[in-house]
């Protein structure tokens, strides 16, 4: 059996193409699984749509997470083959990601909905308006379909009048159409606050959601969706870690299918860096989650358990120094799972130094305990070594 450890996702896929059969799934079932990944010439599937909550937008269940895509051509090919929702952000690739998306949508703006995000630190009316105007210029468009407040970790920002004023002004000017939020941490709290907001101001929520997500998040997603909030799933691949535990089989399709079997999820935005990832992910459109997929995910889950943090933040109150353990771990995941040093560093640098892993160097003993039994002190040390 060939090893995939240490390879990027594309190389892992190549191993899947050339590798020998694994004992994980027997006979024809395995052959079918591998063939789905490698069938050439590749035929793009018929687009499958769901409605994004009260926005009424009909979006493809597999949408495009552009965060790490360096080539506009990959995004363009997806759009030409029916993918009609692309997610980017002001801060990805130091601002270049929006320009890449802009190149991709040139001449085909009407075929695609664009979602982007304000800068995580932007709070004032002027900052939010400036963020959006910069995004419009980078994207080369007159309007953004969904503007999202980036990375909410509590309910607080949902109720800020100044934020709503800024967004409403942008909407009146025709510069944005719908409002959204994104969240990786305390997602249930954020989602419930969207519903409890008497204005019901925000139309969409981009949430980290995968086969490891707890019931609390599932329930909050259902409640928000029933209240008309369009729910978009991210981090569906549980970090995208490569592992040799599955032999030649990639877990990514199974992970995507798992997220989409939830009817309250409108679409998923897997990050697609290149053509191989695009084909692998887009092929899921119209596929059902099967018993084989469940088996694959079980094995994948066991293999990556020593690395994976769900960003629940439940360990943080036990740290006397206020280290943002979940955000440090998210930065680490971008380095080790996504293999994007740039994203890992930019995320890590958003953490105040006084709450970063640097603090742990002087801590006599780690008192924070992980609900998933991760070795927090070791993770913080690793973050210090590779991200400091």
Considering the rule CB under 6 A, would residue 202 count as an interface residue with ligand SF4? no
The site that binds ligand SF4 (CB under 6 A) totals a number of residues, namely 26
Segments in 83-154 forming alpha helices (H): 96-105, 125-139
Binders of ligand SF4 among residues 346 to 375 (CB under 6 A) are 359-360, 363, 366-368, 370-372, 374
> In terms of Cα–Cα distance, which of 167, 173, 116, 166 is closest to 145?
116
DSSP 22: P
Burial code (b: 16+ CB inside 10 Å, e: under 16) for 262-288 equals bebbbbbbbbbbbebbbbbbbbbbebe
Which of 210, 277, 329, 340 contacts ligand SF4 by CB under 6 A? 329
Q: Which residues contact 40 (CB under 8 A, 6 or more apart)?
A: none
Which of 149, 303, 325, 333 contacts ligand SF4 by CB under 6 A? 325
> In terms of Cα–Cα distance, which of 25, 5, 6 is closest to 298?
25
Edge-to-edge order in the sheet of strand 176-183: 64-65, 85-87, 113-117, 144-149, 176-183, 204-208, 230-234, 267-268
Considering the rule CB under 6 A, would residue 319 count as an interface residue with ligand SF4? yes
> Tokens at residue 273, please?
């860096």
Collapsing DSSP to helix, strand or coil, 322 comes out as coil
Handedness of CA 232, 235, 238, 240 (dihedral sign): positive
> Given the complex with ligand SF4, which of 290 and 372 has the nearer CB atom?
372
Distance of alpha carbon 255 from alpha carbon 213, whole angstroms: 12
CB of 316 to ligand SF4, least distance (A): 7
Considering the rule CB under 6 A, would residue 380 count as an interface residue with ligand SF4? yes
CB of 241 to ligand SF4, least distance (A): 15
> Tokens at residue 185, please?
């941490």
CB of 302 to ligand SF4, least distance (A): 16
Q: Residue 182 forms beta bridges with which residues?
A: 206
CB of 237 to ligand SF4, least distance (A): 16
Write the binding mask 149 to 188 for ligand SF4: x where contact by CB under 6 A, - elsewhere: ----------------------------------------
Considering the rule CB under 6 A, would residue 261 count as an interface residue with ligand SF4? no
Which of 86, 114, 234, 376 contacts ligand SF4 by CB under 6 A? 376
Q: Which stretch binds ligand SF4 (CB under 6 A): 240-248, 261-269, 305-313, 342-350?
A: 305-313
Considering the rule CB under 6 A, would residue 255 count as an interface residue with ligand SF4? no
Q: Which stretch binds ligand SF4 (CB under 6 A): 66-74, 137-145, 208-216, 306-314?
A: 306-314
> Given the complex with ligand SF4, which of 259 and 360 has the nearer CB atom?
360
- End-to-end alpha-carbon separation of the chain, Å? 36
Give the distance from CA 343 to its chain's centroid.
13
Considering the rule CB under 6 A, would residue 315 count as an interface residue with ligand SF4? yes
> Given the complex with ligand SF4, which of 25 and 359 has the nearer CB atom?
359
Q: Which stretch binds ligand SF4 (CB under 6 A): 152-160, 212-220, 247-255, 318-326?
A: 318-326
Residues lying near ligand SF4 in the complex (CB under 6 A): 309-315, 319, 321, 323, 325-326, 329, 359-360, 363, 366-368, 370-372, 374, 376-377, 380
């Amino acid at each position: 059996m060939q090893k995939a450890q240490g390879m990027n996702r594309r190389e892992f896929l190549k191993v899947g193409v050339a590798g020998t059969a694994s004992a994980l799934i027997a006979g024809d079932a395995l052959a079918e699984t591998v063939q789905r990944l490698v069938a050439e010439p590749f035929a793009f599937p018929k687009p499958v749509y769901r409605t994004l909550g009260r926005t009424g937008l009909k979006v493809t269940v597999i949408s495009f997470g552009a965060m790490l895509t360096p080539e506009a051509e990959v995004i363009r090919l997806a759009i030409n083959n029916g993918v009609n929702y692309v997610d980017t952000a002001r801060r990805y690739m130091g601002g270049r990601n929006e320009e890449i998306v802009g190149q991709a949508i040139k001449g085909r703006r009407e075929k695609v909905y664009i979602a982007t995000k304000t800068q995580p630190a932007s709070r004032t009316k002027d900052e939010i308006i400036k963020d959006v105007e910069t995004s419009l210029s980078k994207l080369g468009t007159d309007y953004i379909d969904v503007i999202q407040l980036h990375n909410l970790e509590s309910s607080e920002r949902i109720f800020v009048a100044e934020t709503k004023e800024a967004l409403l002004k942008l909407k009146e000017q025709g510069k944005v159409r719908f409002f959204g939020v994104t969240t990786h941490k305390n997602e249930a709290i954020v989602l419930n606050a969207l519903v409890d907001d008497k204005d019901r101001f925000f139309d969409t929520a981009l949430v980290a959601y995968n086969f490891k997500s707890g019931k609390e998040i599932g329930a909050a997603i259902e409640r928000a969706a029933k209240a008309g909030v369009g729910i978009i799933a991210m981090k569906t691949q549980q970090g995208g870690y490569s592992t040799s535990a599955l032999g030649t089989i990639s877990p990514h399709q199974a992970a995507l299918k798992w997220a989409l079997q939830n009817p309250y999820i409108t679409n998923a935005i897997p990050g697609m860096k290149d053509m191989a990832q695009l084909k692998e992910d887009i092929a899921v459109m119209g596929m059902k989650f099967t018993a084989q997929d469940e088996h694959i995910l079980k094995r994948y889950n066991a293999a990556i358990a020593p690395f994976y943090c769900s960003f629940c933040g439940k360990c943080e109150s036990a740290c006397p120094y206020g280290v943002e353990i979940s955000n440090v771990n998210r930065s680490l995941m971008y380095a080790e799972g996504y293999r994007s040093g740039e994203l890992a560093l930019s995320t890590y640098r958003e953490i105040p130094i006084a709450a970063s892993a640097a603090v742990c160097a002087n801590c006599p003993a780690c008192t924070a305990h992980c609900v998933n039994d991760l070795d927090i002190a070791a993770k913080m040390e690793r973050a210090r070594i590779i991200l400091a």
